[in-house]
Chain A
């Protein structure tokens, strides 16, 4: 579904970051900011909460570790214990490497799967971006046109942006 946005296009990160600070201070609602590379401090300037992906990773890690260790203990200790020179079947120390590897594997796969799902990253998805130059050298602030104050275009120009109004799906 497309909507009308006021787009402020910048050529560098410092004026962009400055503009985000100013526009937010003046009470404008910023829909989203688009940049060619991660701009340090931008998520704080936009007031974004920290990503919860690390927490997802931690939970997947717990799952992987538990599964890995209990799988080995059940297989060699319970389901088919073997007498190897009279040594205990539940040889915990021997289970450490595989437990570690499975913890890493399930953490990585689980976290990346979560990342793809929450970001709606599906192969072949159409990118919802206001300008194709964003992946090269354009930095863009998108403000929804309805509800924006009349002076916002002028203000963005003053802050060094090239301003466009566009019907886009973001």
Chain B
């Protein structure tokens, strides 16, 4: 199929099918680099902190957190919502962009999906531990019991969340693994000895037959079709945890779309942070190009603008509603005792992504990296602001309290980053970080070499064509 030569290549430099296999599978077969060991060690140390905090929590009780009668959700739920949100980018890239036939997704979908799974695992740990007795967590499921049977309360958004998060984790995991099977077979067919046995076990006897690919594509497409509404439902239901309550600042109909946009915004920022590190440390610059970074920055800009508009809309509606409680909640957010959290959120989420209007910044690795970190910080503060500022001023001023985290909560947050990165480093070492087969399938239409070949056949001067589009940008 002929593609317009004005479309920028997604694979740069000289390459071939076997070279793609080589480039992506090599890091799995070779000894890890110094950087991998360094990153893995730091992550393991943070994971150790997580284990320490969680063990202390389990032996002592949730009273070790800084929560009180008034502020009964704090860092735990902030982290829960933050992690779930981060997970959303992976599903968006693998499912929504598959449905829209966006070819650039092939280079980034595998690692983004892995990120989804690890982020949801981190997220799930918070409500699990917040339950106080995690060994009784099966009580949330409608299982027959000796109390009647007394069933779960399906009117509660918190229970909807249980179903949403567990379905999300399961479906994401299945989607990811189905996509991994052909690439695991690629590793199997290059390997010898124990590695061949292990990857042989994991690749289920994949043989690359035409019938196999037909079924593979059919399953992938349906899983994408299922994941698309699923990902929207998950953060919608998370927002219901707040929106269906009667707390000023939470009880708003804007929450579902605003939460979903925020989730995609923070998720893409995290993908960006990880990819910039990964392409450098694993020498994947040919496959994760500046064009990839550029399009993802555009998504950050769009979703960031949606989030910014939502903040302003909330403020407007608080004023327009003429409800004094609602108005107080919002003025208190901006100018009350937690003003610093609110303005951190506003700066990181509303102002920084607007820098991406500049093409130069979108295509600068340093700028993308720094802004992606700012967005991650901003989105963490968004959840903190929503949760803590709405709770700390109760209806009775005698109940007004402040909240600050204890070392256990801080340890569990830093520790969850450790858990996430430990899993990610293991993934980068043992599994193909780029979907090998999918990148090969776009090679003909999207690699620099092939586009140039086609163009010269058609008598088009590529330099001129590119210069033309660059000028138009």
Contact = CB atoms under 8 A, between A and B. Distances in A.
Interface of A: 13, 32-39, 42-43, 46, 48, 50-51, 53-54, 57, 71-72, 75-76, 79-80, 84, 91, 94-95, 97-98, 100-102, 104-105, 107-109, 111-112, 115-116, 118-129, 132-137
Nearest to B165: A101
B217 A111 contact: no
Given A105-B167, A115-B178, A135 B149 contact: no
Contacts of A122: 204-205
B208 A129 contact: yes
9 contacts: A37-B441, A51-B214, A94-B154, A109-B170, A109-B174, A119-B204, A126-B205, A129-B209, A134-B207
Contacts of B215: 51, 53, 115, 118-119
A79 B211 CA distance: 48
A96 B204 CA distance: 37
A71 B159 CA distance: 14
A91 B155 CA distance: 8
A98 B155 contact: no
Interface string B401-436: 000000000000000000000000000000000000
B152 to A, nearest CB: 8
Interface stretch (B226-234, B278-286, B324-332, B364-372): B226-234
Contact of A136 (B21, B200, B204, B206): B21
B149 A79 contact: yes
B276 to A, nearest CB: 27
Contacts of A124: 200-201, 204-205
A71 B149 CA distance: 13
A13 B444 contact: yes
B150 interface: yes
Interface string B94-106: 0000000000000
Contacts of B217: 38
A107 B167 CA distance: 11
Nearest to B237: A97
Given A97-B157, A127-B206, 10 more contacts: A32-B211, A37-B440, A39-B210, A48-B210, A53-B219, A75-B142, A98-B160, A119-B212, A121-B206, A134-B189
Given A75-B151, A132-B189, A101 B233 contact: yes
B16 interface: yes
Interface majority SS (helix, strand, loop, mixed), chain B:
helix
A101 B444 CA distance: 39
B453 to A, nearest CB: 12
B339 interface: no
A135 B185 contact: yes
Contact of B186 (A53, A95, A136): A136
Contact of A76 (B148, B154, B213): B154
B67 interface: no
Contacts of A76: 151, 153-155
B223 interface: yes
Interface residues of B, number: 64
A105 B208 contact: no
Contacts of B157: 97
B18 to A, nearest CB: 4
Given A42-B213, A43-B214, A135-B186, A98 B154 contact: yes
Contacts of B189: 127, 132-136
Contacts of A43: 210-211, 213-214
A134 B226 CA distance: 31
B230 A104 contact: yes
B222 A53 contact: yes
Contacts of B219: 53, 111-112, 115
B418 to A, nearest CB: 30
A34 B437 CA distance: 13
B206 A108 contact: no
A37 B210 CA distance: 9
Interface in B375-411: none
Nearest to A53: B218
Given A120-B205, A125-B204, A54 B222 contact: yes
B182 interface: yes
B208 A123 contact: no
B138 to A, nearest CB: 16
A80 B182 contact: no
A34 B186 CA distance: 13
B290 interface: no
A36 B437 contact: yes
Most buried by A among B155, B157, B175: B155
Most buried by A among B170, B175, B214: B214
A42 B208 CA distance: 12
